[in-house]
């Protein structure tokens, strides 16, 4: 086991969507299945890493018992868990589709329906990845994801720089079979030197393998 490439490395992974409560029975969410993040957690564990997986609501299960899974619901819950595990992490892979907005107030009773429309006031959530990027110390490797529909590479590079990342995984919704609910994904990896590698459409487990090879190289630098 000690011969595995990521033996002894602490890796923090986020996966899945977050749910932002409107009232006791309703929420704002998104279509993230959690598949990519769980595939990454499994691959990292198989390479010997100590994996902490902070997961939003998802039906996915981990392949390995050794993965420490922490279930969260909201963006705020996910942020707090990430902040507590980040200092000890050698690498972080932020795969979660965190909600960008959350209701300003959460009604404590079910909101009754009326004849008129309904406005829900939203506020921005904290960008977890950017927060960790600001706290990053030498040697820590931070990986983010970008799902874009236009100007993909330009936006991905802007995110890499703005959030102080070491690697960004770009998946385009323009590619058939890539993105949210599929079992396959097609990615381009871009590092800080703006070195770019585009991979073929593959199973998410294989995509996770490609990302982990690059992550292992970055951890060695
Ligand atoms: O800026 P954008 O949401 O497109 O960035 C996507 C990347 O940032 C993903 O890696 C995602 O997990 C992360 N993110 C986050 N917290 C947020 C929003 C995005 O960690 N509130």
Angstrom distance (rounded) from CA 215 to CA 194: 15
CA-closest residue to ligand 1 atom 1 = 159
Angstrom distance (rounded) from CA 149 to CA 18: 21
Confidence of residue 176 (pLDDT cuts 50, 70, 90): confident
Place of tokens 């706290």: 135
pLDDT digits (tens, 9 = 90+) for 115-127: 999 999 999 999 9
What separation in angstroms does the CA of 125 have from each of 30, 99, 100, 118?
14, 7, 5, 21
pLDDT at 4: 96
The answer to whether the CB of 129 is under 6 A from ligand 1 is yes
Annotated catalytic residue, options 30, 119, 164, 174: 30
Atom of ligand 1 nearest to the CA of 143: 10
Whether the ipTM is more than 0.90: the answer is yes
Whether the Cβ atoms of residue 150 and residue 201 lie closer than 8 Å to each other: no
Best of 128, 142, 162, 185 for a ligand 1 pocket test (most atoms within 8 Å of beta carbon): 128
Confirm or deny that 100 is annotated as ligand binding. yes
- Beta strand 50-55 pairing with 68-71: parallel
- Which residue(s) pair with 44 in the sheet? none
pLDDT digits (tens, 9 = 90+) for 17-71: 999 999 999 999 999 999 999 999 999 999 999 999 999 999 999 999 999 999 9
Q: Is 207 helix (H, G, I), strand (E, B) or coil?
A: helix
- Is residue 87 exposed (0-12), middle (13-18) or buried (19+ Cβ within 10 Å)? exposed
Percent of the chain with pLDDT over 90: 90
pLDDT at 94: 98
Tell me the pTM: 0.96
| pLDDT above 90: residue 148 | no
pLDDT at 92: 98
Q: Which of 96, 95, 131 is nearest to 212 (CA)?
A: 95
pLDDT digits (tens, 9 = 90+) for 42-55: 999 999 999 999 99
Best of 17, 40, 85, 127 for a ligand 1 pocket test (most atoms within 8 Å of beta carbon): 127
Whether the Cβ atoms of residue 84 and residue 41 lie closer than 8 Å to each other: no
Whether the Cβ atoms of residue 121 and residue 104 lie closer than 8 Å to each other: yes
Confirm or deny that 7 is annotated as ligand binding. no
Best of 144, 159, 164 for a ligand 1 pocket test (most atoms within 8 Å of beta carbon): 144
Confirm or deny that 110 is annotated as ligand binding. yes
- Is residue 79 exposed (0-12), middle (13-18) or buried (19+ Cβ within 10 Å)? buried
| Pick from 6-15, 130-139, 175-184: least confident | 175-184
Question: Region 188-197: what's the mean pLDDT?
Answer: 97
Domains identified in the chain and CATH numbers:
10-105+122-220 (3.40.50.10300)
The answer to whether the CB of 159 is under 6 A from ligand 1 is yes
CA 165 / ligand 1 centre spacing (Å): 11
185 is catalytic: no
| pLDDT above 70: residue 178 | no
| pLDDT above 90: residue 182 | no
pLDDT at 179: 64
The answer to whether the CB of 125 is under 6 A from ligand 1 is yes
């Amino acid at each position: 086991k000690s011969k595995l490439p990521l033996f002894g490395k602490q890796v923090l992974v986020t996966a899945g969507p977050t749910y932002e409560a409107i009232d006791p029975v309703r929420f704002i969410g998104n279509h993230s299945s959690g598949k990519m993040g769980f595939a990454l957690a499994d691959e990292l564990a198989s390479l010997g890493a100590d994996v902490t997986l902070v997961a939003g609501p998802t039906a996915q299960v981990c392949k390995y018992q050794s993965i420490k899974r922490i279930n969260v619901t909201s963006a705020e819950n996910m942020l707090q868990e990430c902040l507590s595990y980040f200092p000890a992490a050698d690498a972080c892979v932020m795969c979660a589709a965190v909600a960008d907005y959350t209701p300003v107030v959460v009604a404590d009773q079910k909101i009754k329906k009326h004849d008129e429309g309904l406005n829900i006031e939203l506020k921005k959530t904290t960008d977890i990845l950017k927060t960790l990027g600001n706290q990053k110390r030498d040697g820590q490797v931070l990986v983010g994801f970008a799902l874009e529909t236009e100007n993909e590479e330009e936006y991905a590079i802007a995110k890499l720089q703005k959030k102080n990342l070491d690697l960004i995984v770009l998946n385009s919704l323009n590619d058939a079979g890539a993105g949210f609910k599929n079992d396959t994904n097609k990615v381009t990896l871009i590092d800080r030197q703006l070195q770019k590698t585009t991979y073929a459409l593959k199973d998410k487990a294989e995509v996770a393998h490609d990302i982990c090879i690059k992550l292992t190289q970055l951890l060695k630098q």
